[in-house]
Amino acid sequence: MIEINNLSVSRDGARILHDVTLNVPPGRLAAIIGPNGAGKSTLLHCMAGLLPPDCGQVLVNSRNIHALSEARRALILSLLTQAQGTIPRLSVQDLVAFGRWPHHRGRPTATDRAITAKALARFDLDQLATRNVETLSGGQRQRAFVAMAYAQSTPWMFLDEPLAALDPKYVRDIMDRLRDMTGDKTGQRSIALVLHDLSVAARYADFCIAMKAGRIIAAGPWRDIVTSDLLSDLYDTPLRVAQLDGVPVVMGL
């Protein structure tokens, strides 16, 4: 469970989040949606403990995330950012292995190697394990970074626009795996992610956080709260939620 109480956050002196109060239940795939500049990334970074709040607090599994040390925090949550850093000539395997760093802090054990291997297999990266990360296609690269976050084995995973500039095949690739993780009986993950493609959000997310101008407009189970009216209001443009072969889609009118 994530409990956010009266959270206000500023960046470079400008207030981005205004008095946000929000609960995110565990074991869900929670999508944060909203127009550009709504504060979605800021909320995610603050939830991940990387941005200090002006006031208010974020409790992840009842612990104040901003009061924890960096080392402890990295065992509770992982964050995939939009601009991922890499090292020249780093192999996919070595990249994914970095996900285990919070656990071994420089001295990898057999367990760490086994979990790295499991992450590689789960994300179909076995064939690419020795490839240089810089030579991967955008979709493969993103999959490798999600695999690294997965290898970190944290109960909470945050992803900031993990689908930006990906082809439909890779979108499905990544979203299917993320949904599988929230349904896992052993080692279940709770996931929160910023999404721009509303049809993808409608199809995969089971919890929705709608944001606008630094405030939460609505939060709750996707089916209960996401309607054509809500989305149209949220984005200031006519949008409609429809069913196509039993799959929800969102389209502009």
Partner 1 sequence: MAERRLVALGVAVLGLCAVFLLWNLRAPIGLILELRAEKLAALVMVGAATGAATVIFQTIATNRLLTPGIVGFDALFVFTQTMLVLALGGAGYVALAGTVKFVVEAAVLMAAAMALFGILFRNGAEDMIRMILTGVILGVLLRGLAGFAQRLLDPSEFAVVQQASIASFNAVDPEMSGIAALVLICGLGAALWLAPRLDVAALGRVQARVLGLDHDRLVLTSLGVVAALVAVSTALVGPVTFLGLLAASFAHALLRDHRHSVLIPAAALMGAAILVAGQAVFERLLGLQSALAVIVEFAGGLLFLALVLGRRAR
The site for partner 1 (CB under 8 A) is made up of: 48, 50, 69-75, 78-79, 81, 83-90, 94, 98-99, 101-102, 105-107, 152
φ, ψ dihedrals at 207, nearest 5°: -140, 145
Q: Which CB atom, from 10 or from 227, has the smaller least distance to partner 1?
A: 10
Nearest distance, CB of residue 83 and partner 1, angstroms: 8
Q: Which CB atom, from 95 or from 210, has the smaller least distance to partner 1?
A: 95
Nearest distance, CB of residue 78 and partner 1, angstroms: 6
Q: Which CB atom, from 19 or from 94, has the smaller least distance to partner 1?
A: 94
Nearest distance, CB of residue 81 and partner 1, angstroms: 5
Q: Which CB atom, from 56 or from 98, has the smaller least distance to partner 1?
A: 98
Nearest distance, CB of residue 111 and partner 1, angstroms: 17
Q: Which CB atom, from 79 or from 175, has the smaller least distance to partner 1?
A: 79
Q: Which CB atom, from 63 or from 72, has the smaller least distance to partner 1?
A: 72
Nearest distance, CB of residue 158 and partner 1, angstroms: 9
Nearest distance, CB of residue 188 and partner 1, angstroms: 21
